[in-house]
Amino acid sequence: MTSQTGTPDPYSNPLVFGQRLQILRQRKGMTRAQLGGLLGLTGSWVKSVETGRLQTPRLDVILQIAQVLRVGNLNELTGHDISVDLFAGPGHPRLAAVKTAVDSFPFRDQQGAPPAAHLRARLDTAWSARHKAPNHREVIGALLPDLIRDAQAAVHQAERAEERRKAQAILSETYSLCQFFVAYQPDAPLLWRVVERGLIAAQESEDPRAIGLAAWLAAQAHRDSGPAHFEAADSVTHDALAYLTPLLPDASDEVLAIAGALTFEAGYTAARRKETGVAWRFWDQARDMADHLPESYYDPVTSFSQAIMGAHAVTVAVELHAGGESVRQAAAADAVTIPSRPRRARHRIEEARGYQLDGQPDAALATLAKAYEAAPETIRYNGYAKAIILEEAESKTPARRRRASELAVRIGVLAA
C-alpha cells in the first residue's frame, strides 16, 4: 500500500522490516539520529528504512543493527525464523544449577557455614581457574552453586558485626564471579538479581574493594542494556569513583586497581556514545593509574593492569568505529601477553571488530580463530564475533566463505 505522497506505508503490513526496526529503536529510547550515528550512517537513512523508502538492508547491516539494539534473535528484526541468538547464548548446561543456588534462601538451622578464610581460598581458586581454563564457564559453573550457598550461609550465621561484614564482602565477590557466568545467557532477570544482590552485599560489607567491584559490574550491565541505560551506567561509575577517590592516597593495590577499572568504564561508555575526546581522556587517566601499580600486578576480577591498557585502547577505538585507529592500537597491544585466557579471547574479538571496520575481513577471521584457541566459551557467547562470522559465511570469496563457515560450525551457530 502507498500513501498519497507516494511513500510506502510501513503499517500496511505489520511484519515489514522498517516497522520492526522503528518499534525496536523506540523501545530502546533512541532517536533516529542516535541509531544512525551508532551505525556510522545518518538519521535520514534510518528514517528511509523505517518508512519503506529504502529496501531491507544487507545481512551485514542487519547484524550491525542487531548489535546496536541488542536484539537477541534476528527474527525480531526480520520476521523470519532465523535461529541466530547473537547476544544470549543457548544456555550453559550448568545454568539451572547456578540459578537454583542464587534463588535459594539459607536458614540459620542449616549445616554450619565454612570459615571466612576457607571461603576466601575457594573464591581465589575459582578466579584462578577461570583465567586458566579455555572452558571457563564450565569450570566456574561447577564451583558456583556450592560457593554461593556457603557464602550465603556464612552471612546468615555470622554472630559478630565484623564477622558479618567480612562474609558480606565474600558473598558480594561471589556474585561478581556469578555475573561473569550469567552474562550473555538467556536469563536477563537472573543477571539483574545477581547484580543487585552483589551491590547490596558490597554495601553491607563496607569494604571499598567489594563496593568498587560490584559497581564496576553493575555499570557494565547497564551499559550493555543499550543507550537508554548509559546514564545509569555513568551514575553508578561516577558515584563509586567519588566514594573511592578520597581513599586512594593510602589504598592497597587492589583498591587502586578497581578505581582504575571504573575510570576506564567511564571511557568505555563515552566511546559507546561516540564522545571521542571524553573516551580517550578517561583512557589516559586509567593508564596513569595503571602505571602506579606494580608492573606484574594483574587484577583477578577486572583484569586491570598495565598489561590490559593496550587492549582497552583497542576497545575504545572499535566502539568509536575508528577502523584504522583500531588496527593501529591492535598492533601496539600485541606486544603484551594478557595472562587470562577468556580476557585474551575477548581482546582478540575486539581486534577482529577493528579489522572488520577497516575492511580487512580475512584478518578479522584469522583473529577470531585465535580467540577460539584461547577460550572457545568466550567466542561462543559473544554477539560481535558471531555477527562477523555469519556475515563472512555469505562472502562472495569462496576461501573466505569456507573459513567463516568452518568457524561458525566450531562455535555452534551453523550445523555441521
Please list, in sequence order, all residues whose beta carbon lies within 8 angstroms of the beta carbon of residue 293, skipping any fewer than 6 positions away.
Answer: 253, 256, 257, 260, 304, 305, 306
pLDDT tens digits along 247-266: 999 999 999 999 999 999 99
Burial class of residue 75 (count of CB atoms within 10 Å of its CB; 0-12, 13-18, 19+): middle
Q: What are phi and psi of 386, to 5 degrees?
A: -60, -40
Which residue type, as a one-letter code, is found at position 395?
S
Q: Count each helix (H run) and each strand (E run) in the chain, helices first.
A: 21, 0
pLDDT of residue 369: 96
| Contact between 31 and 50 (Cβ < 8 Å) | no
158-164 long-range contacts (CB < 8 A, ≥24 apart) are: 163/116, 164/204
Q: pLDDT band for position 7 (50/70/90)?
A: very low
Query: In angstroms, what CA-CA distances link 90 with 133, 227, 334, 387?
Result: 20, 25, 31, 16
pTM score of the predicted model: 0.82
CA distance 406 to 40: 29
For the chain, give the percent of residues with pLDDT over 90: 66
8-state DSSP, 79: S
111-117 long-range contacts (CB < 8 A, ≥24 apart) are: 111/153, 112/153, 112/157, 113/150, 113/153, 113/154, 113/156, 113/157, 113/167, 114/150, 114/154, 116/154, 116/163, 116/166, 116/167, 116/170
Q: Which of 285, 183, 171 is nearest to 224 (CA)?
A: 183
pLDDT tens digits along 185-243: 888 899 999 999 999 999 999 999 999 999 999 999 999 888 889 999 999 999 999 99
Query: In angstroms, what CA-CA distances link 51 with 25, 61, 97?
Result: 13, 17, 46
Q: Which of 105, 206, 98 is nearest to 156 (CA)?
A: 105
C-alpha dihedral over 273, 275, 281, 286, to 10 degrees? 10
Q: pLDDT band for position 13 (50/70/90)?
A: very low
Write the DSSP assignment of 180-207 as a string of letters.
HHHTTSS-HHHHHHHHHHHHHHHHHHT-
pLDDT of residue 57: 87
pLDDT tens digits along 109-129: 567 889 999 999 999 999 999
**Position 89 pLDDT exceeds 70:** no
pLDDT tens digits along 396-414: 999 999 999 999 899 887 6
Which residue type, as a one-letter code, is found at position 215?
A
For the chain, give the percent of residues with pLDDT over 70: 91
Query: In angstroms, what CA-CA distances link 80 with 66, 366, 387, 403?
Result: 14, 31, 17, 26
Q: Which range among 39-48, 257-266, 351-360 shows the weakest confidence by mean pLDDT?
A: 39-48
pLDDT of residue 103: 92
Domain boundaries, the chain: 17-78, 307-416
Tell me the Ramachandran region of residue 294: left when phi exceeds 0, alpha when psi lies from -120 to 50, beta otherwise: beta
The CATH classification number of 307-416 equals 1.25.40
pLDDT tens digits along 300-351: 999 999 999 999 999 999 999 999 999 999 999 886 789 999 999 999 999 9
| Contact between 400 and 389 (Cβ < 8 Å) | no
The CATH classification number of 17-78 equals 1.10.260.40
**Position 5 pLDDT exceeds 80:** no
Q: Using the Cα atoms of residue 98, residue 230, residue 347 and residue 60 in order, give the sign of their dihedral.
A: positive
Query: In this predicted model, which residue has the larger pLDDT, 365 or 334?
Result: 365
- Read off the C-alpha cell for 180: 561473569
pLDDT of residue 1: 44
